[in-house]
Structure 1
Amino acid sequence: MNGTAIENFVCVIFNVSFMNCTWHVGRNVSGDTQYFLYWKTSRKEDFTGCQNYIKDNYGRHTGCRFQNVTIENKRAYFLVNGSRNGQNIQSYKKMIILYKIEKLTPPLNVTVNCTEASHGCEIQWQPPRTSHVKRRACFKYEIVIENKADPEKNIRNTSRTESSITGNSYIFGSFSTEKRYSVKIRATDNGCLVSTSWGEWSTPVEFGTSQLTSTSSYMLSLLSVLAAGLVLFLCAVRTYLKKASATIPQPRDPFRELCPMDFKVCLFSICLKFVVIKDPLQSQRYDLSARKVHRKYKNQSIMHETEETIAIIEEVT
């Protein structure tokens, strides 16, 4: 029956590997009509049914969602048929070259580098993502640079468009430090197996006065932090040097540790311990002399703590 087949069948590939196919119901169908979509990428393959239908308010299938679609140089064959109260209706067939229906993603990593001295800005970007094209020369670009309005400075909103740009950079030479700008970019085919339709716009990137101001503020903040860090470092070094230059303790004297009394008296007593006296009479004389010297130096050490005393012990014969 004429007018029962679907109409306006359209497929779009987006975000590299997702595909949506949609259609309108036939003009002469009733509410109980239902449609079913099948597709394959080679004449030798069998048709595969849709797994994720899009439905209208009446529950009728009006589209299908696909995932993990690979483009390469493939052609896809679509078949949409339907039924109404158990009766077949007109079917719809279509062949589509997949790369022609791809909606290119936005160019990636859009950056702007402005220099106040040259009054110019270099805009750079990366090619859009695709599953079948890797050469950068396969794309050309359109750039729109918008001059943002500023009522306080009596600046009106204007735009400038540059098309058919090849490569991955563009020099914007009309840059003014007193103005604020934004830039967005999209891509299309440049003689390869790429869709000739323009792709999606990139997210606008703003640059201009605020960018320069924020950069200067950042540098001032960084210098302040560095200055504060340097002051703290110098204070720490000064404190360390003060502690290091304090009174250095005297080295340990093993003789004084062995005998806490006056050093020379102690030395005399230690010497007596190593003297071997065979004559008892001489031993008594040495002992008497040692006691006298001991008392003498002990009294002197109490009265004169800082005065050195030299003891001379004559050999007793």
Structure 2
Amino acid sequence: MNGTAIENFVCVIFNVSFMNCTWHVGRTASEDTQYFLYWKTSGKEDFTGCQNYITDNWGRHTGCRFQNVTIKNKRAYFLVNGSRSGQNIQPYEKRIMLYKIEKLTPPLNVTVNCTEASHSCEIQWQPPHTSHVKRHACFKYEIVIENKADPEKIIKNASKTGSDIPGNSYIFGSFSAEKRYSVKIRATDNGCLVSTSWGEWSTPVEFGKELTFTSSYMLFLISVLAASLILFLCTINIYLKKTSATVPQPRDAFHKISVMDFQTEHKNELTKHETEEIITIIEEVA
């Protein structure tokens, strides 16, 4: 049944002894297609089936996870077969040299010792950890040193072989005590049974002058924020005082007139009338 075999089969060994193998389902594979992976590292051995499958949304096997894998210059034999609707599908077979698919771990124990008088630093490290290579000369390294004041400026970016860096060390001769740097290292093969792909980067190690400008900048930023907060609170306080001032209330047109209000108003009318009569009499006498 053409198009039912898996495609893009890839295996990677990482963290020394873990291995992941993944694949894509066949072009004509239906939802009920199922795959099974078997492997062995010697022609005299029996095939061992996968114990920890990776599945897709339809439950089809699309990969396998392995633990406790040892390389030891072994060639592995992989077989993926399966079935669809009760019928066998096209099998897939592949042979792989295990050391070629290893993703090297980062170099270990990276340290930096600087001498201000000589304007140089000695960077040292240990080879990455593997299950089959013990010789230091089997690795070469890439070293990247960055100026932290200008992260985009790469001071050193070069591959160095084991013979160029005796004893897994490198002398950085452009050191300035007034600057801050970081260094990271990764490894690859140097003519042994090691993967030719670059391994993982080590965690960056910083060295040189402390970045004091950062603390000064933070103090300035805190001062600006504090001043802005005080100004904001003062503005809010002034606004609240203005809006809370007494505002004359309009007379309620529907306010009920009490007896006391009526008597007071009537008394005022009488007083006003008597005053007008007195003024009138005075005008007539005059």
Q: Establish whether TM, by shorter chain, passes 0.5.
A: yes
**Which residue pairs with 1:162 in the alignment?**
158
Tell me how far apart the structure 1 counterparts of residues 184 and 195 of structure 2 sit (CA, whole Å): 20
Q: Percent identity?
A: 85
Matched, 1:144 2:144: yes
Find the residue that maps to 2:10 and give its secondary structure. Answer: strand
Q: How far does residue 103 in structure 1 lie from its aligned partner after superposition?
A: 0.7
For residue 106 of structure 1, what is the amino acid of its counterpart? P
Tell me how far apart the structure 1 counterparts of residues 157 and 77 of structure 2 sit (CA, whole Å): 39
Find the residue that maps to 1:137 and give its secondary structure. Answer: helix
How many pairs were matched up? Answer: 207
Whether contact under 8 Å (2:12, 2:103) holds in the other structure is yes
Find the residue that maps to 2:36 and give its secondary structure. Answer: strand
**Which residue pairs with 2:60 in the alignment?**
60
Q: How far does residue 25 in structure 1 lie from its aligned partner after superposition?
A: 0.5
**Which residue pairs with 2:80 in the alignment?**
80
Find the residue that maps to 1:131 and give its secondary structure. Answer: coil
Q: How far does residue 164 in structure 1 lie from its aligned partner after superposition?
A: 2.4
1:1-317 correspondence runs (5 A): 1-149=1-149, 155=150, 157-159=152-154, 160-166=156-162, 167=166, 168-210=168-210
For residue 59 of structure 1, what is the amino acid of its counterpart? G
Q: How far does residue 49 in structure 1 lie from its aligned partner after superposition?
A: 0.4
**Which residue pairs with 1:240 in the alignment?**
none
**CA root-mean-square deviation:** 1.4
Tell me how far apart the structure 2 counterparts of residues 93 and 201 of structure 1 sit (CA, whole Å): 33
Q: How far does residue 116 in structure 1 lie from its aligned partner after superposition?
A: 1.2
CA pair 156-41 structure 1, distance change in 2 beyond 3 A = closer
Tell me how far apart the structure 1 counterparts of residues 194 and 186 of structure 2 sit (CA, whole Å): 14
Tell me how far apart the structure 2 counterparts of residues 145 and 48 of structure 1 sit (CA, whole Å): 46
| CA deviation profile, 1:66-92 (whole Å, cap 9, x unmatched) | 111110111100000011111111110
Find the residue that maps to 1:210 and give its secondary structure. Answer: coil
Tell me how far apart the structure 2 counterparts of residues 136 and 211 of structure 1 sit (CA, whole Å): 35
Unaligned ranges ≥5, structure 1: 150-154, 213-317
Q: How far does residue 118 in structure 1 lie from its aligned partner after superposition?
A: 1.1
Q: How far does residue 211 in structure 1 lie from its aligned partner after superposition?
A: 8.9
Structure with more relative contact order (C-alpha pairs < 8 Å, separation 6 or more): 2
Tell me how far apart the structure 1 counterparts of residues 65 and 203 of structure 2 sit (CA, whole Å): 26
Q: How far does residue 210 in structure 1 lie from its aligned partner after superposition?
A: 1.6
CA pair 127-83 structure 1, distance change in 2 beyond 3 A = same
Q: How far does residue 120 in structure 1 lie from its aligned partner after superposition?
A: 0.7
Q: How far does residue 165 in structure 1 lie from its aligned partner after superposition?
A: 3.3
Tell me how far apart the structure 2 counterparts of residues 45 and 162 of structure 1 sit (CA, whole Å): 44
Question: Which structure has the highest helix share of the two?
Answer: 1
Q: How far does residue 157 in structure 1 lie from its aligned partner after superposition?
A: 3.2
Tell me how far apart the structure 2 counterparts of residues 156 and 101 of structure 1 sit (CA, whole Å): 33
Unaligned ranges ≥5, structure 2: 213-286
For residue 161 of structure 2, what is the amino acid of its counterpart? I
For residue 193 of structure 2, what is the amino acid of its counterpart? L
Q: How far does residue 156 in structure 1 lie from its aligned partner after superposition?
A: 6.2
Find the residue that maps to 2:137 and give its secondary structure. Answer: helix
Find the residue that maps to 2:210 and give its secondary structure. Answer: helix
For residue 152 of structure 2, what is the amino acid of its counterpart? N
For residue 107 of structure 2, what is the amino acid of its counterpart? P
TM-score of the pair, normalised by structure 2: 0.70
Tell me how far apart the structure 2 counterparts of residues 138 and 165 of structure 1 sit (CA, whole Å): 9
For residue 194 of structure 1, what is the amino acid of its counterpart? V
TM-score of the pair, normalised by structure 1: 0.64
Q: How far does residue 102 in structure 1 lie from its aligned partner after superposition?
A: 0.7
Tell me how far apart the structure 2 counterparts of residues 15 and 40 of structure 1 sit (CA, whole Å): 20
